[in-house]
Amino acid sequence: MKNEKIVIIGAVAAGSKCAFKTKRDCPDCDIWVYTEEQFVSYSACGLPFYIEGTIKDADSLIVKTPKDYEKAGINIHIQHRLLEIKPKEKVIVVKNLKSDLIFETSYDKLVLACGARPFVPEIENQQFKNIFTLRTIPDGINIKNKMGTSKNALIIGGGYIGIELLEAFVKNGLNVTMIEASSHIMSLFDEDMSDDIEKYILSKNPNQVRIIKNDYVVSFEGDDNGVKFANTKAGGKIPTDLVVIAVGVMPNTEIAKAAGIELGVKNSIRVNKKMQTNISDIYAIGDCAENINLVSNTPTWIPLGVTANKEGRCCAINLSGKEDEFEGVLGSAVTRYFDYAMSLTGLNEKTAKNLGYDIVSEKVTKHDRTIEPIKEITIKVIADRRSQQLLGVQAIGCGDADKRVNTAASALSCHKKIGELVNLDLTYAPPYSASIDPLLTAFIALQDKLEKEQ
Amino acid sequence: MKNEKIVIIGAVAAGSKCAFKTKRDCPDCDIWVYTEEQFVSYSACGLPFYIEGTIKDADSLIVKTPKDYEKAGINIHIQHRLLEIKPKEKVIVVKNLKSDLIFETSYDKLVLACGARPFVPEIENQQFKNIFTLRTIPDGINIKNKMGTSKNALIIGGGYIGIELLEAFVKNGLNVTMIEASSHIMSLFDEDMSDDIEKYILSKNPNQVRIIKNDYVVSFEGDDNGVKFANTKAGGKIPTDLVVIAVGVMPNTEIAKAAGIELGVKNSIRVNKKMQTNISDIYAIGDCAENINLVSNTPTWIPLGVTANKEGRCCAINLSGKEDEFEGVLGSAVTRYFDYAMSLTGLNEKTAKNLGYDIVSEKVTKHDRTIEPIKEITIKVIADRRSQQLLGVQAIGCGDADKRVNTAASALSCHKKIGELVNLDLTYAPPYSASIDPLLTAFIALQDKLEKEQ
């Protein structure tokens, strides 16, 4: 509200969105932003594409600079680390990383947009050069620089970032090993879909790519020039001169926890729909905050840039004295490996089972359009047998898979039943679809299955 | 139901779907299909792409042949025209067009899938050769044959088929004039969107394409070789050796009306959600049947192949003794002109106003993705000021416009308000979208506008 001092910790998607919108909606607010990073308001999702070379210049990942903050009337402090929150006194303790000066500053409202950081498993000898994680712009620049002189890359982790880095490294001529501790890469997808994805990846560049599953790296070997080998639990010895660890992220919430802020799923900060924590006048948004899954109405933690943006907007509206609620997420996501799209929304079979749903699913492989360039897509739809409610959709393939997932996402947020979805009025023309859209074919197949069971 | 004699009139999308599904679900049903056409179960939507040459072979437009009907155990009679329905006696009068034999046949259930036919305005001297309409496979073959020797084509009507034929003719090197009686081509779109479409079309092939609006053809001139000129109301004289009249379609419902079957919007056959007409045991499906607009819950008539398919399925389920209801349509549609997509769903401004909505709209032009090939799309969202309910979405441009319209279609069928849509959880990765999807940007712009008005 007017004349309040609002302190925001973090300045990537959520923090930046919140700062700028609050200032626009409430010009009299006194806004202070602290980030321990050097860069603000950048597209972390673009980093693999910068490494790949599709995005030519790291600068173009930057949406706003500290100068843009200043021009907007926002007090921005880069390279300042949050050390402590004192909720009773309504002050925070901050360290200037350049001068090492530690100081206190007060707030009327505090917004935690602290983000998440790469989870790094225990591996011996991580001190060698050329072992990276990918989160920030300097990470991206470092990996890209090293890639230029590398022959054999190792990607630890078979998730979204792993797949995007795989494309980047393969396009740049490297031999790449991907190692995944679980039985499946891209494990947000169901196992049958993951199998299809892996099959495509291996068929696309059979000589450049090797995928190891059910195994993990226990130690590195190297010398002054950097890492040379990775040794696996199963006894494998992988020659490599470039390692990226991409096994997932964890929320930066230790300081919040120490201040008595309640944590939720996977130690993310529990918030209500107004993005408020359990402590008055402290908000949390973006990758450090917990989410509600809109399908199951249960707490979850799905840190994504698109959600950070929306939560930043919601928080800003509330800070400005109006009211807004962020209802939750579906976990909609997409990536690609060359021409092959991998897209999903809602619950996968495993998560749905764990939540107690009686799941039933169908999977169809169809042409994505009727005239060239015709490509195949595989769509899997998952529903709850009792309520017949749609729970999730996954779509993969070289065709237009992502369109179908977004259409389904929209339906998911309305808690539609399968029977209500078979007649969804989707567009059709030969360059865009089939007269029965593949998504509807999948819904019809599932509806037929449900009817046969009755 | 078991052993019933089901007679279906028409064998393109609706009739064919209904016949095959009924036979599958109810193998003991005795199914008789009559069509006055020579071909059955073909993709009428593919015809412009066949003329263009993208679909190489007219045969590939055919989904099923009369032999496929016979194999399935369906009695199929091509080139048989319905002359009369006698509901009291439950018989129909049919003429065999090859033998000229007229006969009666009885039914337990009658399904009218009579389709629609091109509306042909009054123009003098239509007897000349090389003046066509486009509805059937022979139409497509005749136009394609003539195109091969033509230099100057004239398309009468600036709707979907007109635009698709324009692409076909331009790709084949013809000079094309399109004449549209109203002030705008593609008039299912709002006028501002139509202006953008026209601007693109004229910029794409400036030397080959001419668009005349607010004028219409009153007479043709020609000789034994065929049409040579079209004279317009405003005094224009258009040299042409190939004319296609594509000003819209009208339902084939004269015989139904004569039998006492109630008609609705634009003389389409009024049906309930089970696809039943007002006369017991007579159903109507496909292009000859009226629809309910799901946004406004009012009767409309939007004849489209995708709807025909769904209505055929619904009717088949009801004929088989189970129950199914077809709720209605959104009028979702898409076409393209070369790389430029034109896609819409729901109500446009004019229709919404006529229905009494207090419309408010916003329009944004954005990149469709973050990495190359980046293209622009323009999205217009229309809502009702009072209820804040989304009424319609239109998207055009060289980028991925259709994805956004299908996502919106799904939301429209849930009667979502704009405020509920700004946080829709859509997928994001640089090859597929922006971190705030253009559709969400449009929703946010409209939400901001609505808030400012309050």
**A3 pLDDT band (50/70/90 cuts)?**
confident
Contact at CB, B45 and A428, closer than 8 angstroms:
yes
A332:B427 CB<8 A: yes
- Chain A CB within 8 Å of residue B408 CB: yes
A contact residues 15-74, partner B, Cβ 8 Å cutoff: 43, 45-46, 49, 54-55
Residues of A within 8 A of B329 (CB-CB) are 425
Q: What rounded mean pLDDT belongs to chain A? A: 97
Cβ pairs bridging A and B (under 8 Å):
188
Query: What pLDDT is attached to residue A392?
Result: 98
Is the pLDDT assigned to residue B1 strictly greater than 70? no
Show residues of chain B in contact with A394, CB under 8 Å. Answer: none
Select the residue of A314, A424, A430 nearest B413 (Cβ to Cβ).
A424
CB contact (8 A) between residue A370 and residue B46: yes
Question: Which one of B52, B330, B337, B423 would you mutate to disrupt binding with A, by most A Cβ within 10 Å of its Cβ?
Answer: B423
Model confidence at A454, pLDDT cuts 50, 70, 90, reads confident
B167 at A interface, C-beta within 8 A: no
pTM more than 0.90: yes
Write the pLDDT tens digit of every residue in A108-131: 999 999 999 999 999 999 999 999
pLDDT digit string, tens, across residues B75-110 = 999 999 999 999 999 999 999 999 999 999 999 999
pLDDT for A352 equals: 98
Query: What is the model's pLDDT at position B454?
Result: 82
Average pLDDT over residues A316-343: 97
**Which phi and psi (to 5°) does residue A137 adopt?**
-65, -45
pLDDT digits (tens, 9 = 90+) for A241-257: 999 999 999 999 999 99
Q: How far is B399 from chain A (nearest CA, A)?
A: 13
Closest CB from B49, B402, B424 relative to A427: B402
Q: What are the structure tokens assigned to B129, written together? A: 């050769």
- The overall average pLDDT reported for chain B is 97
Q: Is pLDDT above 80 for A35?
A: yes
Of A54, A413, A426, the CB nearest to B425: A413
Per residue in B157-171, pLDDT tens? 999 999 999 999 999
Q: What is the pLDDT of residues B248-290, one digit of tens each?
A: 999 999 999 999 999 999 999 999 999 999 999 999 999 999 9
Interface contact A304-B423, CB threshold 8 A? no
Does B398 reach chain A within 8 Å, measured CB to CB?
Answer: no
Residue A345 confidence (pLDDT) above 70? yes
Per CB-CB distance under 8 Å, the chain B contacts of A400 are 403
Q: Which residues pair with A7 in a beta bridge?
A: A32, A110
* pLDDT tens digits, one per residue of A163-220: 999 999 999 999 999 999 999 999 999 999 999 999 999 999 999 999 999 999 999 9
Query: Is the pLDDT confidence value at A1 over 90?
Result: no
> Closest to B430 (Cβ–Cβ): which among A46, A329, A427?
A46
Q: Does A370 touch chain B (CB under 8 A)?
A: yes
Q: Using CB atoms within 10 A of its CB, is residue A65 exposed (0-12), middle (13-18) or buried (19+)?
A: middle
A308 CA: distance to closest CA in chain B (Å): 10
CA distance B216 to chain A (A): 28
Query: What percent of chain A is predicted at pLDDT more than 70?
Result: 100
Give me the interface pTM, i.e. the ipTM: 0.97
The dihedral through the CA atoms of A154, A158, A163, A165 has a sign that is negative
Report chain A residues whose CB lies below 8 A from the CB of B403: 400, 402-403, 406
pLDDT at residue number B246: 98
- Render pLDDT for A386-420 as a digit per residue (tens, 0 to 9): 999 999 999 999 999 999 999 999 999 999 999 99
Task: Give phi and psi for A163, each to the nearest 5.
Answer: -65, -40
Is the pLDDT reported for residue A2 higher than 90?
A: no
Positions of A annotated as catalytic residues are: 45
User: Around Cβ B296, how many Cβ atoms within 10 Å?
Assistant: 20
> Alpha carbon B278 to chain centroid distance?
25
CA-based nearest distance A30→chain B, Å = 23
User: Residues of B with catalytic annotation?
Assistant: 45
pLDDT at A311 over 70: yes
Residue A27 has pLDDT above 90, yes or no: yes
pLDDT-based confidence at B406, cuts 50/70/90? very high
Task: Give the pLDDT confidence of B303-313 residue by residue, as tens digits.
Answer: 999 999 999 99
Kindly report the three-state secondary structure assignment for every residue of chain B: CCCCEEEEECCCHHHHHHHHHHHHHCCCCEEEEECCCCCCCECHHHHHHHHHCCCCCHHHHECCCHHHHHHCCCEEECCEEEEEEECCCCEEEEEECCCCCEEEEECCEEEECCCEEECCCCCECCCCCCEECCCCHHHHHHHHHHHCCCCEEEEECCCHHHHHHHHHHHHCCCEEEEEECCCCCCCCCCHHHHHHHHHHHHHHCCCCEEEEECCCEEEEEEECCEEEEEEECCCCEEECCEEEECCCEEECCHHHHHCCCCECHHHCECCCCCCECCCCCEEECHHHECEEECCCCEEECCCCHHHHHHHHHHHHHHHCCCCCCCCCECCCEEEEECCEEEEEEECCHHHHHHCCCCEEEEEEEEECCCCCCCCEEEEEEEEECCCCEEEEEEEEECCCHHHHHHHHHHHHCCCCEHHHHCCCCCCCCCCCCCCCCHHHHHHHHHHHHHHHHC
Nearest-Cα distance to chain B for A94, in Å, is 30
Under 8 Å CB-to-CB from B447, ≥6 apart: which residues? Answer: B418, B419, B422
Contact between chains at A425 and B13 (C-beta distance less than 8 A) = no
Express each pLDDT in B169-185 by its tens digit.
999 999 999 999 999 99
- The most distant pair of C-alpha atoms in chain B lies apart, rounded to whole Å, by 71
Q: What is the pLDDT of residues B181-231, one digit of tens each?
A: 999 999 999 999 999 999 999 999 999 999 999 999 999 999 999 999 999
